[in-house]
Structure 1
Amino acid sequence: VLSRVPVTLVKFDIQFPYANNEDEYAQVADSLKNKENLLVAEVGVQDYADYENQDLAGRYSLNRGDFPVVKLYTHDNLKSPATFPTNEKFTASNIMRFVK
């Protein structure tokens, strides 16, 4: 999917996220939903039972303690996406600034 869309914003998080971080990312997704050539996605990583999406988390060396992690993939740089800075507060406005 990433190779078909020029820009993809992906949030890696626990399988069933909740609270403020989830609400902030939902605002970002809502703001960007009508943007052409941009896909907003979320990958829920499960660290029990079926361990869903652990392979993706492992590819980027992400652990549960790192979540949420937001990565910005561009069509010409799929292997080294930009990562939302961990020293930035996880707010919709900061994430939107990161995307631009």
Structure 2
Amino acid sequence: MKWRTADTVDAPLIAVLGPVRRPRAVQVLLDGKPVVTSPRLDTVRAAHVAQAVAGHLLPREAASGRQAAPTNIRWQGLVAEVRVTTGRHRVVRLVRLRPVD
């Protein structure tokens, strides 16, 4: 018998966190809540994310009346395939990005 420790699910990409050319993480919508992926994106995935969102970025809404940092950006139009671990501590890891069908 094998125990499944993680499930792979599709989630809409709602934000990219970090420098545009080298994002540190992505934020996805899981179960109606925004969740930031962990651990930090490796070089290959960061380059892929940067290339996928280039030219399609919108500034994040200002928080508390002040401008959000320019490295926090929002764009809708990609689906992130993420692996969500099951159990006590939930970790969401980016597997890959796909365009919306």
Report the structure, 1 or 2, having the larger strand content. Answer: 2
* Higher RCO structure (Cα 8 Å, ≥6 apart): 1
Judge same fold: TM > 0.5, yes or no.
no
- Whose radius of gyration is greater, 1 or 2? 2
Q: TM-score, normalised by structure 2?
A: 0.29
Higher helix share: 1
